[in-house]
A = this chain, B = another copy of it.
Amino acid sequence: MWTFDNPPSKQLKERYGFEPTREWLDHLRLASVRFNDGGSGSFVSPNGLVLTNHHVASEQLQKVSTPERDYLEAGFLARGPSEEMKCPDLELNVLISMEDVTARVFAAIKPGMTDKQANDARKGVVARIEKESLDATGLRSDVVSLYAGGEYWLYRYKKYTDIRLVFAPERRIAFFGGDPDNFTYPRHDLDMALFRVYENDKRVASPAYLRWNAKGAAAGDLVLVSGHPGSTDRMRTLAQLEFSRDREYPTYLELIRRRLDVVRRYSARGQEHAREAANMIYGLENALKALSGEHQGIKEPRLLAGKARDEQEFRRLVASRSDWQAAYGGAWGEIAKAKSRHLERYDNLAYRAFSGYQLPETAMTLVRYVTEVTKPDGERLEEYHEAGLESLRFSLLSPAPVYPGLEEALLADDFRLSVEKLGPDDPFVRAALGGRTPAEVAKELIAGTKLGDPAERKKLLDGGEAAVAASTDPLVVLARRLDPIRRETRKWYEDNIQSVERSGGERIGKARFAVYGKSTYPDATFTLRLAYGTVKGYPMNGTEAPPKTTFHGLYDRAGGFDFKPPYDLPSRFVERKNALDLSTPLNFVMSGDIVGGNSGSPVVNRAGEIVGLIFDGNIESLVGRFVFDETTNRAVAVHTAAMTEALRTLYDADGLVRELLRP
């Protein structure tokens, strides 16, 4: 997970004899695409064609589907430009430049500042840098904190918002094996989708695209992955990890299980209910399995013991020089104290939520938006900085469908959870329910709100504070009532916990550079990173997992379960089986360090050609949030040969294949 400004040149040269040029790296970076909702992709033709995973595309597939046409289930293929289907609210980003702004951020923090003052100053300077960059370049401009605050970088992105769906297979083959096989290997998924980027209603030119290598990756190959790993916690202090283990994971896991239960019950009510809930169930199951795996990992005594040893050694080295000790030595203790204080109001932070699903979240965002934008940029809540407003408005005004029934079920349960955890007399609970039952309140709110209509949202947004203050929309009314309570909780957290963690993190980041130099890459931050590794199996279940699977394995696993869901196949896979070359590689594993967010990342060879498509990690990779073990941690990818074979033989997508295979 190396940043592109600091590629692993030494390792690539020593281990593989490979020396990528600056041009090679720039080309790969410019061909890499960030799916702003969480995911990665790449340009695979000069005409704006973008490859990603089906499970990255699935939110849009859900949104373009109707009760009559379920593209998630049935897949989609555009036969020509006119059929390419516009996505309601998909934003793609391409990283155009990176600039080190560490000195400027650090300069804003004056000696003698309290942690709270420093936190405010930091936020202020970050907002200024972003706004200046936006004004100067017109590019989306994000200041990113790396190495736990040891460095700050300004990342500028070209932003695309007219994205059209070109191809998606049926979910049952994209996600063959369903939740059981998710995060495991050997695997047999055609987890791909193709979009096309438009500007001004025309296909965009994308000269930096990855050439399609239909032969694909082979065992033993060096391969590289360019994508956007979401987040890791490898540089966190022991106190932070213990806090996660004991408090955050149990809380998240309970919440996910609870929501899953609500959504599954909703789904069981009928076919249309099931269609509406499909993608959410996927998301929750995915999160449950991922977080459970992470939690198992961090609960493993050996893992934390190793972390404790490393931290002890690090602190010992810091203490060995008095200037280091003076500058950095106190950070661990201060963070530990903050985490212990964090416990005091943890329940307030966790359960004073108003995010049941889309509509309550929208109401709260509207209420805050109109107020925040009236303030100086540096003083706003972080998510309302000027540089990010365009993306925020894009998502806020999305014409994607809302599902009131699902909204109501989730909101009611969120209220129920607040009552259970905070008690009926908590100010938030009182303000939300006013003594009535969660079910009554949720029903009334969702039945009464007009926020499902994007025009209504636009009216409030354009009308500003006055319009929002005057709104009688029940969700807006409630959001107004809850906002002060939630702001108070958040301010307490930012002033007392976040500020200490950021200040401490910054010092530890600096200490790490001082003691160890810049010998490794920073924790993942959903920014562009380069990973490398070998296509190879790993010890598993008493034997070896193979470097790759083939279409044979798909039919074996389906047959092994008598084709029962989630091991059933789309009919074309049954009817056209004999036309397929079953020995075609389907999925493969590589030893690179990737995590969630890398989904959809291209796997490239030394020539920079695309040979695979990252879509998952194996079960052993879940602990990768805390520690990377090359022995068993593997990224799982769709093989380009399988994509080519399936598009040609099963989907009759000859036009797409020609576009991909162009000389």
Contacts and interface: CB of A to CB of B under 8 A. Distances in A.
B555 A583 contact: yes
B541 A555 contact: no
Interface string A544-585: 101111101101110111100001000000000000001101
A180 B543 contact: yes
Interface stretch (A112-120, A181-189, A329-337, A518-526): A181-189
A603 B129 CA distance: 73
B540 A560 contact: no
A219 interface: yes
A360 interface: no
A301 to B, nearest CB: 12
A468 interface: no
Given A184-B543, A186-B556, A550-B555, 17 more contacts: A177-B543, A181-B543, A184-B541, A537-B560, A537-B561, A541-B541, A541-B619, A543-B619, A544-B561, A546-B557, A547-B560, A550-B559, A555-B582, A556-B556, A559-B583, A559-B585, A582-B582
Given A219-B562, A542-B183, A542-B184, A552 B556 contact: yes
Contacts of A184: 541-543
B557 A555 contact: no
Interface string A501-531: 0000000000000000000000000000000
A29 to B, nearest CB: 32
A391 to B, nearest CB: 35
Nearest to A289: B542
A181 B537 CA distance: 14
Nearest to A179: B543
19 contacts: A184-B543, A289-B542, A293-B542, A537-B560, A540-B541, A541-B619, A542-B618, A542-B619, A543-B619, A546-B567, A547-B560, A547-B561, A547-B562, A548-B559, A549-B560, A550-B555, A552-B555, A553-B557, A556-B556
Given A553-B553, A556-B552, A561 B543 contact: no
Contacts of A561: 219, 537, 544, 546-547
Question: Which range holds the interface residue count of chain A?
Answer: 35 or more
A618 B540 CA distance: 13
Question: What are the 4 closest A-B residue pairs judged by CB atoms, nearest first?
Answer: A546-B560, A542-B619, A553-B556, A552-B556
A553 B546 contact: no
Nearest to A619: B542
A573 to B, nearest CB: 13
Contacts of A183: 542
Contacts of A549: 556, 560
Contacts of A546: 557, 560-561, 567
Contact of A553 (B540, B560, B618): B560
A330 to B, nearest CB: 39
A10 B322 CA distance: 76
Nearest to A187: B543
Contacts of A218: 562
A200 to B, nearest CB: 46
A288 B181 CA distance: 31
Contacts of A547: 560-562
A180 B544 contact: yes
A289 B542 CA distance: 9
A415 B318 CA distance: 56
Nearest to A583: B559
Nearest to A177: B543
A622 to B, nearest CB: 8
A632 to B, nearest CB: 11
Nearest to A585: B559
A88 B543 CA distance: 35
B186 A560 contact: yes
Contacts of A186: 556, 560
Contacts of A553: 552-553, 556-557, 560
Nearest to A544: B180
Interface in A159-185: 177, 180-181, 183-184
A547 B549 CA distance: 19
- Among A544, A561, A567, A619: residue with most chain B CB under 10 A: A544
A186 B218 CA distance: 23
Contacts of A219: 561-562
A186 B559 CA distance: 13
A218 B561 CA distance: 10
A487 B540 CA distance: 46
- Among A542, A550, A561, A585: residue with most chain B CB under 10 A: A542
A619 B540 CA distance: 11
- Among A543, A562, A618: residue with most chain B CB under 10 A: A543
Contacts of A583: 555, 559
Interface in A569-617: 582-583, 585
A429 B588 CA distance: 55
Nearest to A539: B180
A619 to B, nearest CB: 3
Interface string A370-413: 00000000000000000000000000000000000000000000
Interface string A175-219: 001001101101000000000000000000000000000000011
A18 to B, nearest CB: 22
Contacts of A544: 180, 561
Interface string A351-370: 00000000000000000000
A308 to B, nearest CB: 21
A416 B555 CA distance: 53
Contacts of A555: 550, 552, 582-583
- Among A184, A556, A559, A561: residue with most chain B CB under 10 A: A556
